[in-house]
Structure 1
Amino acid sequence: MLKTVQKFIDKHNMIQKGDRIVVGVSGGADSVCLFHVLLGLTPEYDLTLFVVHVNHGIRGTEAEEDEAYVKELCLAHNISCDLIKADVKALAVREGLTEEEAGRKVRYEAFYDCFHKNKCNKIAIAHNRNDNAETILFHLFRGSGIKGLTGIPAVREEIIRPLLDTGREEIEGFLGENGISYQTDKTNLTQDYSRNKIRHQIISFAQEEINKRAIEHIVGASKKLSEIDCYLEKNISSAYDTAVTYLEYNNAYEINIEKLRQEDPVIQKGIIRKSLMGLSNWLKDVEALHIELILELAEKQVGKVINLPYGILAARDYHTITLKIAPFQYKNKEDSKSLEVPGWQPLEIPGEVTIPQTNQILHIKLIKYKKSMIIPRNGCTKWFDYDKIKNTVLIRTRQEGDYVQIDSAGSRKKIKSLFIDEKIPKEKRDLLPLLADGAHIMWVIGGRISEAYKVNEDTKVILEINLDGGKQDGK
């Protein structure tokens, strides 16, 4: 196995002589194997290793045993070891992450702290072939595009994965043959996490009932898709350079509609995604429907605006589609900036937003409308015709000039008058949260909605908002 791993390392030019490498070691079979592989290559490549172990604060005594094992392993081989403790559960709650996401964030922060502290040039992670297959299926089931189906990269900047082409059975066989002990994380044996379900139910079934080489074939397909993705990226980059202009003065991307139309649909979508990536630096919450809505702007009237994740606006101009951050600072999981306007908050579509005044949560998503759908009739779930929205949707309190449309004929009523009619006390009127499209109030949250945004037979896309903790008042 060592020779096979070394061939894989050399094929991807992962390691050079004199490298200083951070090694993530959990104590499990994969990371212990990685440790011993790199230890075995140290004389040939003149490596200097630095181990990082993270105790996630989830598994109690077992986690303490893992930490002690890694400490002893490093002492036995005279390898520097950083032992990190973190409260992953608390981080997940605080930042709105899953425990898996929070754990990954903590680990990589620890890796990079060690990386910079010790002037390293590589970070070695113990992902193997099975992990790769699980990741590919996970992305497939989530509706990923081609990029997500290319799997885990063997090398990404300073991160290397020497075991990526090695199966879990080979790893355990290597450890057994060499009498090397390792720790077992019992959470990996449960069905509590999505990846565990893929591992123990889907992949196990595929290997036993369909083809014992299922993992190999899944990974093989991802390699072919990677080749296709590389080809597409070259063509997308070329088309992007022709169709897109970056406006540095206001951090906006202008996409020439005529040049966009000249491209194949797959290239058009790639241009849109590349532009969005330039604004947000990640696309986790950008769905295929968002890309379709941006492309549809080319057929809309000038001035049409749609809201996108990460506070991005897409606007139809005369000859271009402009993508830019909404005219206020946007707060997300990766950005500590606060809003410029106190008490104002953009609607994250899709996503979740907490109403500052009440601490209630709005759950937001987009749905393609079908005529057979039944419109919700309760006060907590509201449907709006997404194409009728003209501006950035904000959660805010009332402002001078706010109004609501009260009938299908277009009649308006000032919010002040609506509050008086509904006998809302004066002291509460400036505190009530509103969903606003400019000065047009779409929804007095928990109460009345504007007639202008109601779903009808011409609706194509629904903006669904569910108020968690709202009152069932039927309005």
Structure 2
Amino acid sequence: MDQQASDREAAGGRQERVLQELLRMGAEERLWERGDTVLVAVSGGPDSMALLHALYTYAERLGVRVTAAHANHGFRPEESLLEAQGVRRFCEELGIPCDIAELHVPDYLREHGGNKQAAARELRYRFLHEAASRAGAARIAFAHHADDQAETVLMRVLRGTAPSGLGGIPLRRREEKVELIRPLLRITKPDLAAYCKHWTIPYYTDSSNYSTDYFRNAVRLEALPYLESFNGRLSSSLCRLAEAASAESDFLAARTEELFTSLVSSEKAGLTMYGADLAGLHVALQRRLIKLILDYLALEKEPTGFDEVEHIRLGALAEAPVNWRIDLSRGLRFHREYGQLKWTRRNEEPQDGYEILIAEPHGAHELVEAGLRLEFSVVAILREGDVGPAVAGAGPLTAFFDLDELLLPLRVRSRRDGDRMNPLGLNGTKKVQDMFVDAKVPPSLRPSVPLICDAKDRILWIPGIRRSTHATAGEGTRRLLRIDAQRIAPPNPLS
């Protein structure tokens, strides 16, 4: 057999694999049901054009109706126009309805700002959902293939990911009223190219695919080829990893949902559970349950970071302190009150006081309720005579303390009934309420004023009002704690 005949046979085998794998994947995973309308997202590239043709070829056998949608993002005017025209012609040849939209992403970015790729994705998915609704489609099919899957897993490894991220691109995902499916995830790019060649399917190449300015392109064009010099089947290995990780992640996700239903209670202010229930779970389920709670409450779609989950988990399980609070990303807050754990949206919390734990006094902490930023820093005293000059900057919004005389952790909290303080310069104690009156703090703002206390709840400082006699710097001071208060917004009156 000559080389040309051998190449033709190999190409024929590859194009057959596309159809066989499509049928097998659809049947095994039940990606569609008889009577479904499947909307294919068609970019005009070889992958989506092959998917459209393959589904069209087997539509009658599968008992589905095929329709198409194409989005012109407006980044490459001449190329994009040719792609849209080509997709329309191909759909007309096959007799497939095609919904085409011009999204004008550059105009959207000028008006709203943001990331180019994120904006394009947002507008594209919005259009696809609208197109699916118009077509009565229960599924939207995307042409992501095995090579895309390998790239995605490697990208996540390089950026850092939790085990669930190793699942890569999901085979299916429910979004709004439709299911997003990816029937080609086990089919390689060369197989799809052979399929297009065998059936003389026209397609268009996006010139931006060759720019390594994009992370995915750099991984595909540079990182993967280099790493494959160590493992020639790296892409296949990454795809197997994704499939195994995805299955295990699905199992753990289902178990976590069960735990959420049985252990987590919904209250007006947020979600609560008992710390003992969390402590009784395997660490993997602890992390997943905390992440699920955060994702449930968050109004923003950004992913929850591992460090944030771990901070909550360790704080919830620690023996002490038994009461503390931490502000989280996406406008959320976590509270631990003895054996009770609570997650809330900050802007929906009843404004009945606050308390923040400062376990390690360094760095900045924003206190939204008081409209202040508290900056903690430590100053080393190398010689006894250095103490005086070091504390010379003390004032209404700056205070110094002998760090070795403080009992940590510090707490920043709102006032409580009966609070008293040992003000510097006075003998004995004085009511905090009276100091607020002396300082002419309006009654509506008094609950917002922060009191900085030590672990024994001794009031050390009320920024802008008074400093206590506790932990004053002296000749024996070796480490100074400096606290600066800076106004960042008007205080938020608490009821």
Q: Does 1:408 align with 2:400?
A: yes
Residues 24 and 31, structure 1, Cα contact 8 Å, conserved in 2: yes
Q: Secondary structure at the match of 1:210?
A: coil
> CA offset at residue 241 of structure 1?
4.1
Change (3 A) 1:183 1:274: same
Q: Which amino acid aligns with 1:203?
A: L
In 2, distance between residues paired with 1:396 and 1:89?
38
Match of 1:439 among 435, 449, 470: 449
> CA offset at residue 311 of structure 1?
0.7
Change (3 A) 1:86 1:234: closer
Aligned residue number for residue 351 of structure 1: none
Aligned residue number for residue 261 of structure 1: 279
Q: Does 1:59 align with 2:76?
A: yes
Residues 245 and 253, structure 1, Cα contact 8 Å, conserved in 2: yes
Q: Does 1:102 align with 2:119?
A: yes
In 2, distance between residues paired with 1:305 and 1:86?
44
- In the comparison of the two structures, how many residue pairs are matched? 369
Alignment of 1:380-399 (within 5 A): 383-384=363-364, 392=368
Q: Which amino acid aligns with 1:439?
A: V
Q: Does 1:306 align with 2:326?
A: yes
Alignment of 1:209-288 (within 5 A): 209-247=229-267, 249-250=268-269, 252-280=270-298, 284-288=302-306
Q: Which amino acid aligns with 2:183?
A: P
Residues 285 and 309, structure 1, Cα contact 8 Å, conserved in 2: no
Residues 297 and 315, structure 1, Cα contact 8 Å, conserved in 2: no
Q: Which amino acid aligns with 1:17?
A: R
> CA offset at residue 440 of structure 1?
4.4
Residues 242 and 259, structure 1, Cα contact 8 Å, conserved in 2: no
Q: Which amino acid aligns with 2:285?
A: I
Aligned-residue sequence identity (percent) comes to: 22
Change (3 A) 1:396 1:26: farther
In 2, distance between residues paired with 1:457 and 1:313?
32
Match of 1:48 among 44, 52, 65: 65
Match of 1:113 among 98, 120, 130: 130
Aligned residue number for residue 363 of structure 1: none
Residues 273 and 341, structure 2, Cα contact 8 Å, conserved in 1: yes
> CA offset at residue 39 of structure 1?
0.9
> CA offset at residue 322 of structure 1?
0.7
In 1, distance between residues paired with 2:479 and 2:303?
28
TM-score, reference length from structure 2: 0.67
Residues 151 and 220, structure 2, Cα contact 8 Å, conserved in 1: yes
> CA offset at residue 14 of structure 1?
1.2
> CA offset at residue 302 of structure 1?
5.2
Residues 326 and 392, structure 1, Cα contact 8 Å, conserved in 2: no
> CA offset at residue 226 of structure 1?
2.1
In 1, distance between residues paired with 2:286 and 2:40?
40
Residues 300 and 330, structure 2, Cα contact 8 Å, conserved in 1: no
In 2, distance between residues paired with 1:35 and 1:25?
7
> CA offset at residue 404 of structure 1?
6.3
Change (3 A) 1:317 1:56: same
Runs of 5+ consecutive residues of structure 2 not aligned to the other structure: 1-17, 352-358, 374-394, 403-422, 425-446, 453-462, 468-477, 482-487, 489-495
> CA offset at residue 396 of structure 1?
8.3
Aligned residue number for residue 134 of structure 1: 151
Change (3 A) 1:113 1:242: closer
Alignment of 1:293-332 (within 5 A): 293-298=311-316, 299=318, 300-301=320-321, 303-328=323-348
Residues 255 and 321, structure 1, Cα contact 8 Å, conserved in 2: yes
Q: Does 1:123 align with 2:143?
A: no
Q: Which amino acid aligns with 1:277?
A: D
**140-149 or 95-104, which deviates more:** 95-104
Residues 308 and 328, structure 2, Cα contact 8 Å, conserved in 1: yes
Residues 311 and 326, structure 1, Cα contact 8 Å, conserved in 2: yes
In 2, distance between residues paired with 1:327 and 1:458?
36
Residues 38 and 139, structure 2, Cα contact 8 Å, conserved in 1: yes
Q: Does 1:206 align with 2:227?
A: yes
Aligned residue number for residue 26 of structure 1: 43
Q: Which amino acid aligns with 1:245?
A: S
Aligned residue number for residue 101 of structure 2: 84
Which is greater in Rg?
2
Residues 170 and 246, structure 2, Cα contact 8 Å, conserved in 1: no
Deviation string 1:389-409 (CA, Å, 9 cap, x unpaired) is: 6x5578689xxxxx9641124
Residues 147 and 226, structure 1, Cα contact 8 Å, conserved in 2: yes
Aligned CA RMSD, in angstroms, stands at 3.6
In 1, distance between residues paired with 2:116 and 2:480?
42
Q: Secondary structure at the match of 2:314?
A: helix
> CA offset at residue 263 of structure 1?
2.0
Runs of 5+ consecutive residues of structure 1 not aligned to the other structure: 330-340, 342-367, 376-382, 398-402, 413-436, 443-448, 460-466, 468-475
> CA offset at residue 48 of structure 1?
2.2
> CA offset at residue 200 of structure 1?
0.8
Change (3 A) 1:82 1:196: same
Q: Does 1:189 align with 2:210?
A: yes
Residues 276 and 283, structure 1, Cα contact 8 Å, conserved in 2: no
Change (3 A) 1:124 1:246: same
Change (3 A) 1:458 1:263: farther
In 2, distance between residues paired with 1:295 and 1:102?
34
Q: Which amino acid aligns with 1:159?
A: L
Deviation string 1:285-308 (CA, Å, 9 cap, x unpaired) is: 421111122123333545522111
Residues 313 and 392, structure 1, Cα contact 8 Å, conserved in 2: no
Deviation string 1:328-380 (CA, Å, 9 cap, x unpaired) is: 59xxxxxxxxxxx9xxxxxxxxxxxxxxxxxxxxxxxxxx99x9xxx9xxxxx
> CA offset at residue 253 of structure 1?
0.9
In 2, distance between residues paired with 1:115 and 1:239?
34
Residues 146 and 239, structure 2, Cα contact 8 Å, conserved in 1: yes
In 1, distance between residues paired with 2:241 and 2:322?
43
Aligned residue number for residue 36 of structure 1: 53
In 1, distance between residues paired with 2:145 and 2:479?
51
Aligned residue number for residue 14 of structure 1: 31
Change (3 A) 1:439 1:67: farther
In 1, distance between residues paired with 2:448 and 2:159?
34
